[in-house]
Chain A
């Protein structure tokens, strides 16, 4: 068991949630309510990481994070270190490839709230923000929690993007998935097996929890 890698993956997943969830929730709320004409293009754009090969995402991130590129150059000027091959770079990558996992479940949850509830809230004189915090969020929590566990598990398992922009540095960019790959290459099937089992259990638990939450939402939707 490579505890350094497990620890690093856990940290990466938590930091990703911290940065990604707040904007994801607001984006999801806006997408659920808006009747903008080009809405499906925006939804499509946000869903891109689902269908793009990780190597393509990795390639573009590597190009964007290079010292000569805008993002990479700016980061280097501010911090003095490169964005690629650093933990911060992994966070940027992780936030980007998790967008669909964070936005979609929350959007579905907001869409499940019936318009009558919003009208009632307006009649009672609640402002947008009061309604958001007192009505929308409490009603959508299963979707939000589902998005959190999905994003967390997906970050633990991401391989292709991390391999391309991370550089496999122990304690810095060597995540669990990369460590498994590494252990197999060094003929250490014991560690590779133990870590694979760990990820398998976590993934299964994630799917179970997530499906349970969705079932809750659907039940609420169909109960009078």
Chain B
């Protein structure tokens, strides 16, 4: 059968949705529940919020975009591509993660990380790429806050997005990394190591205010999913993955 993929009419039935990589597990669960309850299906693509912003600005056919940094949403809104200013759906947090067998001990004060840099226990340390991944920028801000950025720099490996950074941090290819709380809480990853929550005020300049927005081109299914994401079922799943819920008037 040689047919071109779905025409735009058929595509609207299964809208393409772009989501920040830290939503990998939470959003898949929400989409599955959405499908159970409504019979409607969405197609999820995960990646870095910055890359998606570029692609959407260049005309990528996503109908809904869930960013890890609200500034990307405002940028697209300014370009006139979005239906409105969107809605804040979660506040993200970062953790210090070390895989089992790593010489690095995780603590909330990053004391052992500091010691491990000086005594040579750290060979590789993973974060998401700060250039286009909000979780990478939050990691950098927290490290700078603790004057660990410069000493740690020679050992840094960059994931293309928060998921890949988590991959590097958890797979035992590094001694650890700074990754999203929402990913470290997923069973696939929590069994690979241990983590400690990093204080939110250490990255106050990168608060990980996660905002989503419908594009002007959004169809009916995408709109329904957007509303579903703001209902109790979805919000409970976000909470279970460690997201703080943002309360703001979305008028």
Q: Would you call B202 an interface residue if the criterion is a C-beta within 8 Å of the partner chain's C-beta atoms?
A: no
Q: A187–B4 contact, CB under 8 A?
A: no
Closest to A173 in B: B5
Q: Which of B11, B59, B61, B163 contacts A186 (CB 8 A)?
A: B163
Q: Would you call A67 an interface residue if the criterion is a C-beta within 8 Å of the partner chain's C-beta atoms?
A: yes
Cβ proximity bits A1-16 to B, threshold 8 Å, 1 near / 0 not: 0000000100100110
Q: Kindly identify, within residues 2 to 33 of chain B, every residue whose CB is under 8 Å from any CB belonging to chain A.
A: 2-6, 8, 11, 14, 16, 21, 24-25
Q: Interface size on A (CB < 8 Å)?
A: 27
Report the bound CA distance from A84 to B59 in whole Å. 8
Q: How far is the CB of B17 from chain A (nearest CB, A)?
A: 10
Q: B55–A167 contact, CB under 8 A?
A: yes
Q: Would you call B189 an interface residue if the criterion is a C-beta within 8 Å of the partner chain's C-beta atoms?
A: yes
Which interface residue of B3, B4, B11, B161 has the most chain A CB atoms within 10 A?
B4
Q: Would you call A172 an interface residue if the criterion is a C-beta within 8 Å of the partner chain's C-beta atoms?
A: yes
Question: Which residues of A have CB within 8 Å of B11?
Answer: 172
Q: Would you call B44 an interface residue if the criterion is a C-beta within 8 Å of the partner chain's C-beta atoms?
A: yes
Q: Would you call B102 an interface residue if the criterion is a C-beta within 8 Å of the partner chain's C-beta atoms?
A: no
Q: A8–B167 contact, CB under 8 A?
A: no
Question: Which residues of B have CB within 8 Å of A11?
Answer: 2-3, 5
Closest to B44 in A: A170
Q: Would you call B58 an interface residue if the criterion is a C-beta within 8 Å of the partner chain's C-beta atoms?
A: yes
Q: Which of A88, A172, A185 contacts B167 (CB 8 A)?
A: A185
Can you list 10 pairs linking A and B with CB atoms under 8 Å apart? Answer: A66-B58, A67-B59, A82-B58, A84-B55, A85-B61, A167-B45, A167-B55, A169-B43, A185-B167, A186-B46
Q: B2–A14 contact, CB under 8 A?
A: yes
Given contacts A168-B47, A170-B43, A184-B167, contact A15 B2 (CB under 8 A): yes
Question: Which residues of B have CB within 8 Å of A62?
Answer: 58
Q: A87–B43 contact, CB under 8 A?
A: no
Closest 3 CB pairs of A and B: A82-B59, A85-B60, A170-B43
Question: Which residues of B have CB within 8 Å of A184?
Answer: 167
Cβ proximity bits A53-71 to B, threshold 8 Å, 1 near / 0 not: 0000000001000110000
Interface residues on B, range: 20 to 34
Question: Which residues of A have CB within 8 Å of B55?
Answer: 84-85, 167
Q: How far is the CB of B127 from chain A (nearest CB, A)?
A: 15
Q: How far is the CB of A94 from chain B (nearest CB, A)?
A: 14
Beyond the given pairs A82-B60, A170-B43, A187-B186, 17 more chain A to chain B contacts, judged by CB atoms under 8 angstroms and listed by A's residue number, are A11-B2, A66-B58, A81-B8, A82-B61, A84-B60, A85-B55, A85-B58, A85-B59, A86-B61, A87-B4, A167-B45, A167-B55, A169-B60, A171-B43, A172-B16, A186-B25, A187-B188
B residues lining the A interface (CB < 8 Å):
2-6, 8, 11, 14, 16, 21, 24-25, 43-47, 55, 58-62, 161, 163-164, 167, 170, 186, 188-189
Q: Which of B5, B164, B189 contacts A172 (CB 8 A)?
A: B5
Question: Which residues of A have CB within 8 Å of B4?
Answer: 87-88
Q: Would you call A182 an interface residue if the criterion is a C-beta within 8 Å of the partner chain's C-beta atoms?
A: yes
Q: How far is the CB of A169 from chain B (nearest CB, A)?
A: 5
Q: How far is the CB of A223 from chain B (nearest CB, A)?
A: 39
Report the bound CA distance from A141 to B46 in whole Å. 44
Report the bound CA distance from A182 to B163 in whole Å. 9
Question: Which residues of B have CB within 8 Å of A84?
Answer: 55, 58-60
Question: Which residues of B have CB within 8 Å of A169?
Answer: 16, 43, 45, 60-62
Report the bound CA distance from A185 to B55 in whole Å. 20
Which interface residue of A84, A172, A174, A187 has the most chain B CB atoms within 10 A?
A187
Question: Which residues of B have CB within 8 Å of A76?
Answer: 59
Q: B43–A67 contact, CB under 8 A?
A: no
Question: Which residues of B have CB within 8 Å of A88?
Answer: 4
Question: Which residues of A have CB within 8 Å of B58?
Answer: 62, 66-67, 82, 84-85
Which interface residue of B3, B5, B16, B55 has the most chain A CB atoms within 10 A?
B5
Q: Which of A85, A86, A87, A185 contacts B46 (CB 8 A)?
A: A185
Question: Which residues of A have CB within 8 Å of B189?
Answer: 187
Which interface residue of A88, A170, A186 has the most chain B CB atoms within 10 A?
A186
Closest to A76 in B: B59
Closest to A7 in B: B1
Report the bound CA distance from A15 to B170 in whole Å. 40
